[in-house]
Amino acid sequence: MSRPGPLPSPANPSTRPFGTTIFDQLQPGGAAAQAAPSPFDVCHVGVVLRSVLFVHAVVGVAVSFVVGSWSDWLLALAHGAAVALPATLLWLVLCCALKRLLVRASAPVQWVVAIGLGAICGAYGWWQVGWVELPLTQAVHGVAPLLAGAGLSAMMFYALKLRSRSQLPAVTRARLAELQSRIRPHFLFNTLNAAIALVRVDPARAEAVLEDLSELFRVALIESGHAVTLAEEVDLARRYLAIEQIRFGQRLRVEWDLDPAAGEVRVPPLVLQPLVENAVRHGIEPAPEGGYVRIRTQVRGSLAVLTVTNSLPPTAPSPTTGHGMALRNVKERLRLMHDVSAQFAAGPDHGTWRVHIAVPLRS
């Protein structure tokens, strides 16, 4: 197996305040919390759909108070949608375009900008619908469109803030789960024993094993951030499989089919390594004759596809037995980062276990 290149080195420990430890970065006030995404990150299909449906639901409820029949309600809803749809889409586009700038602003400034953009977009929607002289334009005057736009944008921005905050607990739980899983006593002892056995016969290989183990612990304990590249995840998986290769030898066969074009796609951290760990534990470890793990990445249209496939012994339990938590964590973090644009599927496939992930190339 070819050796992976070095990953970025961790931050200098001497730069941390005295008395802090690497475990502090797993706390709500640590680096993981600071990496929480911006509430202005609305450039997702799911966010756009939910925002449009929410605004139109509010319009539908509002017009029900001023009409008396079902047909009048449908007509009034259509007139209201002519104002609400362009105003909502414009607000989302502006938030998406300004997210890099606004993420550095304070919370009060973000609120002012969100509500101010809502008022402007509401006025724009009302202005452009006035050109067609709908009956609705004769019933509403003054600052009502501005107040409606400001109010709706305030509600949507509050919902987006709750959504952005919900990602941090998921990332923290995933890191703690991976930490607990990776520091299993038998895995740690087996790795150290393998390194000790190699010290005299192959010192260079023993050093490489310890370097890989150190990198796995460093990523679990120190690495922070909202997203990494798929290429970085592949490098981490290579290190893990290199350690397990010492343990299993010829029983573990690893097949790589990597598309360089898919390597730059952004994914949540610690996505691939738990999948290959499950593949080894449930596909290779129980089989006396061993088996294979196949990792494949490719680009299909506007999606980057990651597939992890492993052989299964005929009597092996399902990989989800006792470890559905890892699969759920991966699925949840993909959903939080890419919303409905991400695809996740896991299950048996002709005597193998297959995990399929697809994420947009650009998010």
pLDDT tens per residue across span 116-146: 999 999 888 888 776 555 555 455 556 788 8
The pLDDT confidence band at residue 37, using thresholds 50, 70 and 90, is low
The rounded distance, in Å, linking the Cα atoms of 261 and 301 is: 11
pLDDT in tens, 328-343: 888 888 887 887 888 9
pLDDT at 23 over 80: no
The residue-averaged pLDDT of 101-130 equals 87
pLDDT on residue 307:
96
Read off the pLDDT band of 5 (50, 70, 90).
very low
Cite the beta strand spans of the chain per DSSP E.
228-229, 252-257, 266-267, 291-300, 303-311, 343-349, 352-360
Span 67-83, mean pLDDT?
Answer: 84
- The pLDDT score that the predictor gives to residue 345 is 93
Question: How far is it, in rounded angstroms, from Cα 333 to Cα 161?
Answer: 17
Output the pLDDT for position 220. Answer: 61
Quick one: pLDDT at residue 31?
39
Structure tokens at 32: 């993981």
Q: With beta carbons less than 8 A apart as the criterion, state whether 216 and 205 touch.
A: no
Q: What is the pLDDT of residue 298?
A: 95
pLDDT at residue 26 greater than cutoff 90: no
Indicate the pairing of strand 352-360 with strand 343-349. antiparallel
Contact (CB, 8 A) for 279 and 353: yes
Strands 343-349 and 303-311: unpaired
What structural domains and CATH numbers belong to the chain? 45-165 (no CATH), 183-360 (3.30.565.10)
DSSP 283: I
Q: 262 falls in which pLDDT band (50, 70, 90)?
A: very high
Q: What percent of the chain has pLDDT over 90?
A: 24
The per-residue pLDDT for 133 is 57
pLDDT of residue 316: 52
CA dist 325 and 264 (Å) reads 27
The 8-class DSSP code of residue 282 comes to: I
Residue 19 or residue 237, greater confidence: 237
Average pLDDT over residues 71-92: 87
Provide the 10 A C-beta neighbour count for residue 118. Answer: 28
Helix (H), strand (E) at residue 71: helix 70-102
- Is the pLDDT at 97 greater than 70, yes or no? yes
Instruction: Dump the DSSP string for 212-279.
Output: HHHHHHHHHHT---S-EEHHHHHHHHHHHHHHHHHHHGGGEEEEEE--GGGTT-EE-SSSHHHHHHHH
Q: For the chain, first and last CA: distance in Å?
A: 33
Look at residue 322 in the predicted model and tell me its pLDDT.
47
Taking only the tens place, the pLDDT of each residue in 174-224 is 655 555 555 455 566 767 777 787 787 788 888 887 887 777 777 666 554
